[in-house]
A and B are shown apart, each in its own frame.
Chain A
Amino acid sequence: MSNVLEVTGLSITFATPRGNLRAVNDATITLEQGESIGVVGESGSGKTVLSRAIMGLLPGTATRTGSIKYMGKEISELPEKELRELWGTGMAMIFQDPMTTLNPVRRIGAQLTESLTVRLKLDKKEAHKQAIELLRRVRIADPEGMMRKFPYQLSGGMRQRIMIAIAVSCKPELLFADEPTTALDVTVQAQVLELLTELRKEFNMAMILVTHDLGVVAGHTDKIAVMYAGDVVEMAPTRELFKNMKMPYTEALLKSIPRLETPTGTRLPVIEGRLPDPTKNEPGCPFANRCPYVADKCRAEKPPLKDTGTGHLYRCWFPIGGEK
């Protein structure tokens, strides 16, 4: 299998009035065709910036270093004009809040056929037919009626389905889903994730699923990258990660998900403290101040990303369960 995406040593820095803000440090990710990866981390850990940077959608204040290869072709230095050729047909993105990603004054039909007429150069009739097919594919009950509706007439779940339909309309090889279910309620979340997985398998798309919820990625991705303060701190195949996690941070994330088995009244464990200031470059492990297993070495020196040899990488001096 060929690699759809190869990201090596990607760092992103924003110039801010308080100094350079390092949003992503030295991230390395590879993705095979049809493979899916979950990028997990708390707010501000750089996961959204990472996905937008790979796609090339960052604002001008950001500087990128490192290499991004799409289908073996280096794209990190391409001008926007050439990148645009890839957007939609090669890479597409689903955004977090379906309330703001649809244009309020245009009908669903017009927005859905936009990519079909602009990118695939279909004529109006053909685009309409395909749009209806797409709506049916994302399980919208009355596709004909839906084409004539305005976004305000739809619920959040419906809108996110429309956004998914728009994103997959040109059959991209690589789909970014940037917290696609965060703005939705729990029952709809499951349906939308199911739909995404289904479409991914059907179109053989690779997918990067960005979320802060480990539970979301558990059943829907092949591997998981955990991010903390701009670093990829642990990366492993999904099964391996849950069975054999090495990073104290991953463990803490998992512990902070509420469980049904715990008796009523039990306090939900939280991760104490806050993310370190991304404009300062302090020595040591960025998680040291919040880590329950912290040792002197952690404060002095930043751990490198270690590879266990089985595709499981982690960034810790004292991993859970010891080395190997």
Chain B
Amino acid sequence: MFKKFLKTPIGFKLSALWLFAVVFVAVSYDLFPYVQWDQISDFSQGDGPFKVPGHILGTSYDGMDMFTATMHGARMSAFVAVVSVVIGGGIGAGLGITAAYYRGTYDKVMSSIFNMILAIPNLVMSLALISVLANGNSNTPASDFRRVLVLTISLTIVIIPILGRIARSSTLQWSSREFVLASKSIGTKNLEIIRRHIIPNVAPAILAIGFFAVGVVMIAEGSLSILGIGVPGGASWGSLLAIGRANLEYSPHEVYIPVACIGLTVISTNYFGDYIRANLDKRESKI
């Protein structure tokens, strides 16, 4: 497997390494012997990277260590993005595949629902959901957990129709193929046909779009944070960016670092997904 990896193009290697690093940090953040990310430094405020010992990436204008904050941001951003894509993608793909396979009224209803959700701009929808479900009032603000939960749910709803439509169109193309009829003619049940014949064929397309969606969700989460309704208090890359924006004049690295992380992750997920799809599709192209 390692030998195979060495033969891949450099872009794939870099994006795979970056994604691996993000996931690794996100999973193992608690094991690092650093200060807590939201602990304020006494002697360093707003210093740039590599200037103060103990703060590799410098500190924020308020004295937050940028390195640990970025690591924690990776955890929060990756969590929100991956959870909403996995759940939303799972639901979307399930609905899309069955809609395209069974057709009829069920398909029409599903397609209409997908189109209706897609018609609402996703930022507007997330904004509305969070304002209604996770705002509380000024005396008793909603807990951070509740805000993250509602944010994840709203992003999940955004993902469902995107992957649902991809799964549907891909399934339409495969379910009219003769091998599905052939499998049917030996008495295989519909769900079994979907599991054995449809899913292996539509999986590459869904995977590629799924990776792409991780990037989309990350950007959406960042945008929501800048609007002030994302993950609160600098816990994710998006909200680090939102806090740093105010101090751009004095400590610009506060903005550059999370922006670079978001950018690299989005590029990597796109490249990674594309490469995976192209390689899983090989068998078909050989025919």
User: What residues make up the interface of A, taking CB atoms closer than 8 Å to B?
Assistant: 55, 57, 84-89, 92-93, 95, 97, 99-106, 110, 114-115, 118-119, 150-152, 163, 166-167, 169-170
Interface size on B, residues (CB 8 A): 21
Residues in A neighbouring B249, C-beta threshold 8 A = none
In the bound complex, what is the Cα–Cα distance between A10 and B75 (angstroms)?
66
* Nearest chain A residue, comparing its CB with the CB of B174: A103
Q: Would you call A92 and B186 a contact (CB within 8 A)?
A: yes
Contacts A103-B197, A103-B201, A104-B287; is A118 near B189 (CB within 8 Å)?
yes
28 contacting pairs across A/B (C-beta < 8 A): A57-B184, A85-B187, A87-B186, A88-B186, A95-B178, A95-B182, A99-B287, A100-B179, A101-B181, A102-B182, A103-B200, A104-B201, A105-B284, A106-B196, A114-B183, A115-B186, A115-B188, A118-B187, A118-B189, A118-B192, A119-B187, A119-B188, A152-B283, A152-B286, A152-B287, A166-B182, A170-B186, A170-B187
Give the shortest distance, in Å, between B198 (CB) and chain A (any CB).
Answer: 9
In the bound complex, what is the Cα–Cα distance between A63 and B159 (angstroms)?
40
Interface check B108, CB cutoff 8 A? no
Q: Would you list which residues of chain B between 259 and 287 have a CB under 8 Å from chain A?
A: 283-284, 286-287
In the bound complex, what is the Cα–Cα distance between A151 and B185 (angstroms)?
19
Q: Would you call A95 and B188 a contact (CB within 8 A)?
A: no
A-B contact count (CB 8 A): 81
Interface check B51, CB cutoff 8 A? no
Give the shortest distance, in Å, between A111 (CB) and chain B (any CB).
Answer: 8
Q: Would you call B179 and A88 a contact (CB within 8 A)?
A: no
Kindly list 11 other residue pairs between chains A and B, CB separation below 8 angstroms, not including A104-B201, A163-B182.
A85-B187, A88-B185, A93-B182, A95-B181, A95-B182, A101-B182, A114-B186, A114-B196, A115-B186, A118-B192, A169-B186
Give the shortest distance, in Å, between B106 (CB) and chain A (any CB).
Answer: 14
In the bound complex, what is the Cα–Cα distance between A97 and B182 (angstroms)?
11
* Nearest chain A residue, comparing its CB with the CB of B103: A60
Q: Would you list which residues of chain B between 173 and 214 have a CB under 8 Å from chain A?
A: 177-179, 181-189, 192, 196-197, 200-201
Residues in B neighbouring A86, C-beta threshold 8 A = 187
In the bound complex, what is the Cα–Cα distance between A169 and B185 (angstroms)?
12
Q: Would you call A84 and B189 a contact (CB within 8 A)?
A: yes
User: What residues make up the interface of B, taking CB atoms closer than 8 Å to A?
Assistant: 177-179, 181-189, 192, 196-197, 200-201, 283-284, 286-287
Contacts A100-B179, A114-B183; is A105 near B200 (CB within 8 Å)?
yes
In the bound complex, what is the Cα–Cα distance between A106 and B182 (angstroms)?
14
In the bound complex, what is the Cα–Cα distance between A55 and B187 (angstroms)?
11
In the bound complex, what is the Cα–Cα distance between A118 and B186 (angstroms)?
9
* Nearest chain A residue, comparing its CB with the CB of B281: A105
* Nearest chain A residue, comparing its CB with the CB of B284: A104
Q: Would you call A100 and B187 a contact (CB within 8 A)?
A: no
Residues in B neighbouring A89, C-beta threshold 8 A = 187
Give the shortest distance, in Å, between B48 (CB) and chain A (any CB).
Answer: 52
Give the shortest distance, in Å, between B27 (CB) and chain A (any CB).
Answer: 31
Nearest 9 interchain pairs by C-beta: A88-B187, A88-B186, A87-B187, A100-B178, A115-B186, A101-B182, A93-B185, A152-B286, A101-B178
Residues in B neighbouring A170, C-beta threshold 8 A = 186-187
Q: Would you call B185 and A150 a contact (CB within 8 A)?
A: no
In the bound complex, what is the Cα–Cα distance between A104 and B177 (angstroms)?
11
Give the shortest distance, in Å, between A59 (CB) and chain B (any CB).
Answer: 10
Q: Would you call A87 and B197 a contact (CB within 8 A)?
A: no
User: Considering residues A55, A86, A89, A152, which has the most beta carbons from chain B within 10 angstroms of its beta carbon?
Assistant: A152
Contacts A100-B177, A105-B200, A106-B197; is A92 near B284 (CB within 8 Å)?
no
User: Considering residues A57, A103, A118, which has the most beta carbons from chain B within 10 angstroms of its beta carbon?
Assistant: A103
Residues in A neighbouring B189, C-beta threshold 8 A = 84, 118
Taking a contact as CB atoms closer than 8 A, the residue among A87, A95, A151 that contacts B287 in the complex is: A151
Q: Would you call A103 and B179 a contact (CB within 8 A)?
A: yes
User: Considering residues B184, B186, B189, B287, which has the most beta carbons from chain A within 10 angstroms of its beta carbon?
Assistant: B186
In the bound complex, what is the Cα–Cα distance between A78 and B192 (angstroms)?
21
In the bound complex, what is the Cα–Cα distance between A309 and B224 (angstroms)?
85
Residues in A neighbouring B286, C-beta threshold 8 A = 152
Residues in B neighbouring A104, C-beta threshold 8 A = 201, 283-284, 287
Give the shortest distance, in Å, between B139 (CB) and chain A (any CB).
Answer: 58
In the bound complex, what is the Cα–Cα distance between A169 and B192 (angstroms)?
18
* Nearest chain A residue, comparing its CB with the CB of B182: A101
In the bound complex, what is the Cα–Cα distance between A86 and B177 (angstroms)?
22
Residues in B neighbouring A119, C-beta threshold 8 A = 186-188
Taking a contact as CB atoms closer than 8 A, the residue among B181, B188, B201, B287 that contacts A114 in the complex is: B188
Residues in B neighbouring A99, C-beta threshold 8 A = 287
In the bound complex, what is the Cα–Cα distance between A85 and B188 (angstroms)?
9
Residues in A neighbouring B184, C-beta threshold 8 A = 57, 87
Residues in A neighbouring B186, C-beta threshold 8 A = 87-88, 92, 114-115, 118-119, 166-167, 169-170
In the bound complex, what is the Cα–Cα distance between A101 and B286 (angstroms)?
16
Residues in A neighbouring B284, C-beta threshold 8 A = 104-105
* Nearest chain A residue, comparing its CB with the CB of B201: A105
In the bound complex, what is the Cα–Cα distance between A82 and B200 (angstroms)?
27
In the bound complex, what is the Cα–Cα distance between A115 and B182 (angstroms)?
11
Residues in A neighbouring B177, C-beta threshold 8 A = 100
Residues in B neighbouring A150, C-beta threshold 8 A = 283
* Nearest chain A residue, comparing its CB with the CB of B181: A57
